[in-house]
Structure 1
Amino acid sequence: MEKGKKLAVLVGCNYPNTKNALHGCHNDVLAMRDVLINRFRFDSKNIELLTDKPGSLVMPTGANIMKALHQMVDQAQPGDVLYFHYSGHGTLIEKPFLPFSKEEAIVPTDFNLITNVDFRYLVNRVPKGATFTVLSDSCHSGELIDKEKEQIGPSNHINEDSSPSCSKPKAIPYESVLHHLSSMTNINTTDIGTHLLQVFGADASLRFRLPRVELDFFKSLKQDEGILLSGCQTDETSADVTSEKGMAYGAFSNAVQLVFKENSGPLTNREVITLARKVLRMQQFEQHPCLYCSDENAEAAFLSQYATASPIT
């Protein structure tokens, strides 16, 4: 008998009519919604979908994404399964106080960056006995949950051939993000936090709102129930692909969905990443999905006890 609730937030950002436009992110989250319902028995009422499709009632801005995630965590009780799937651009934030050091962030439609610090804060709020799985199909997404233990990462890959020419990286360079925000504030500074605070105020990332001492205080170093499946390593890009038939999708999202289609039984988080790497290698993509979580969760079934034995039809 199943225990607890299964809750999900799915976000797909195509950035339509911009120079940063992608094409497959809406398709990624729509396909994943079907997987959650048909394979993992999520109730469609417990799946919140945010896309920047024209006409969407709730756009995937930074504030709206964080609101949805906090509401999901607020509902969580021991035994619940929480899932966040993100398909869109990622970027690396330069740390002004640590030269040559960078940290990961996803890029909502309004450029209000959501950082690895924000994900760490969310995971810290999850009650004991519940799990919070993040699947991020974005560039530079390794270590997106700050301080989570590496299970499969940079040390586990072999260099492969180049990726297909019909793909586009899901990355926005840090300089482009900074330029965009600077044009909104007209403030002459390279400190991205200054721009984000000026534009978004209390909706800006904790990374920029809290003093460094407070940030260090809540960055958990103990074992927790955060599970990150990233589309690539921190130094890599994830591909947005348009097939010869005109179908657009994220390479990692598609690989994960193929893994579930070809394997009917429960799969551990480690197996999902290992098999997704094989799919991407066969497709000649130069990206290496990673897994960050506790040892126990690495060997636990993806989305815990809710895997079923019936394949996707």
Structure 2
Amino acid sequence: MTGKRVGLVIGNNYPDSDKQLRFAVADALAMKEVLLNKDICGFDEVEESIDDTLLDARIKIEKILKNANRDDLVFIYFSGHGKKHLDNGLRLLFKDAREDYPLATSLNFDYINRCMKYPSLKSVIT
């Protein structure tokens, strides 16, 4: 492989909510360490999205996929709450998610699939 290895780790503990998690952020940051470790994965760069809002996470996901070159390997890791909705599609929840408006306030996993359509992309692991 001649391209770079780039990653995005997403961790959301949902602070100050009734759905608060204890270790999602720690899991994401530990994954980042593994990816960057030259003796294990040797990724060139790994960005993070920690306790972000839906909008901030969407921008980081699109940015990493949009900026990747055809020979790059892109890895996206998510640790947090997910939920099936309506058509049993997976929705990822962020700190500003509202259960009364899940379509408006959560990320449909298909968003990542759509971002993978950028012409420069070839290898993405989610």
Q: TM-score, normalised by structure 2?
A: 0.84
Cα offset for 1:104?
Answer: 1.2
Please report the RMSD computed on the Cα atoms of aligned residues, expressed in angstroms: 1.5
> Gaps (5+ residues) in structure 1?
53-59, 95-100, 135-313
- Shift in Å, 1:18: 1.4
Instruction: Tell me how far apart the structure 1 counterparts of residues 123 and 21 of structure 2 sit (CA, whole Å).
Output: 30
Q: How many residues align?
A: 117
Bigger strand share: 2
Identity level (%): 22
> Within 1, Cα distance between the matches of 2:109 and 2:92?
9
TM normalised by structure 1 equals 0.36
Q: CA deviation at 1:17?
A: 2.4
Mapped partners of 2:83, 2:23: distance in 1: 18
Name 2:102's counterpart in structure 1: none
Work out whether 1:117 is the aligned partner of 2:110. yes
Give the distance between the partners of 2:8 and 2:84, measured in 1 at CA.
23
Give the one of 79, 82, 85 matched to 2:74. Answer: 82
Question: What corresponds to 1:10 in structure 2?
Answer: 9
Question: Quick check: 1:61–1:108 contact (8 Å CA) kept in 2?
Answer: yes
- Alignment check: 8 A CA contact 1:76 1:126 kept: no
- In structure 2, the residue matched to 1:28 is 27
Distance in 2, matches of 1:76 and 1:49, equals 16
Q: 1:192-235 CA deviation, whole Å, 9 max, x = no partner?
A: xxxxxxxxxxxxxxxxxxxxxxxxxxxxxxxxxxxxxxxxxxxx
Question: Of 125, 131, 147, which residue of structure 1 is paired with 2:123?
Answer: 131
1:42 equivalent in structure 2: 43
Give the greater-gyration-radius structure (CA): 1
Question: Is residue 49–residue 60 contact of structure 2 (8 Å, CA) maintained in 1?
Answer: no
Contact 1:90 1:104 in 2 (8 A): yes
Local SS of the residue matching 1:14:
coil
Structure number with the higher helix fraction is 1
Structure 2 stretches lacking a partner, 5+ long: 98-104
The structure with higher relative contact order (CA 8 Å, sep 6+) is 2
